[in-house]
Structure 1
Amino acid sequence: MTKANKYTHITHESIPLFIDDDSTILILGSLPSVKSREVGFYYGHPYNRFFKVLSSLFNEEEPIDIDDRKSFLKKHRIALYDVIYECDIISSSDASIKNVIPIDIKSILDRYTNIKTIAINGNKAKHLYDKYLLQIARTYGVKTIYLPSTSPANARMNIDDLIKAYSLIK
């Protein structure tokens, strides 16, 4: 196995749950990319369109640095985390993910009772959410919505299509 194809064991300790007591929407991806883990915050790859989409949706300037992104999310009561707490992965390839341990959604929903909607970002996150977390979230009466990935790997969707899809969270 070449170095490029080597599995790395990842835990979510490098980027904690981003949430506060006022959060009403929890957006879950699959797992932070290598670049996000390097910068220490969600959607850190420069070509990921997540913050471009949300800022367009809310008619605001796109937040660039991490502190501005956090302020933007808090202002709009958006929390961020991922479906996966721990797994083995090759680089940032969702297709390579194995040995998944999901997040403890029950503890999150017990603690943050203002969460009314969970939005799932991308197909891999959807598959894993449905497998591990959906039934638990339903017991809390939380609405689940599925959104397309904002990753640069999702080239089939242009920015306008993503903004339209993400309007469900507004």
Structure 2
Amino acid sequence: MTKPVLNLDEVVLQTPAADRAPKGANAQYYDIRRGKIASRIGARKLGYNLTAVAPGKTSCPFHSHRVDEEMFFILQGTGELRYGDARYPLRAGDVIACPTGGPETAHQIINTGEAELRYLAVSTESDVDICEYPDSGKYLASASGDPSGKPLPRQVRVIGRPEDSLDYWDGE
């Protein structure tokens, strides 16, 4: 049986694998270091991780989810939450709700301080999700299982732009 308790001092922060690391001209704005928690304590329907962001950086692009809801708890440091058209200052002890939706719920946490920003990220773990990226006009569609929870033979993960969409009958 998995131990249901884990202290944050036992979480090892890691940078993503090369295929998941930021690339391109804007890679300089990102600093992604996360430590897994959920799988280590037996979580099934919620995902948890510890995230650390260097000063002046962010961990991910401005985005919203159509299925998964997220919550963040600021542990240390200061920053700014970009949420829809608004911006909010952040400090240790702040709790952030990021419900599902479109551009109005798009969010991004930016470290505006001079020290590392650390937060606990919690989200629902749906087998299917659609993310939208308002800054770049992209979307991400992903599916890793069927409604019964049974894994699919292969994961579906597509990143595109709406204007690149094919007609439903294309190739049929």
Task: State TM-score, norm by structure 2.
Answer: 0.31
Kindly indicate whether structure 1 or structure 2 has the higher relative contact order, using CA contacts under 8 Å at least 6 residues apart. 1
Larger CA Rg, structure 1 vs 2:
2
- Higher percent of residues as strand: 2
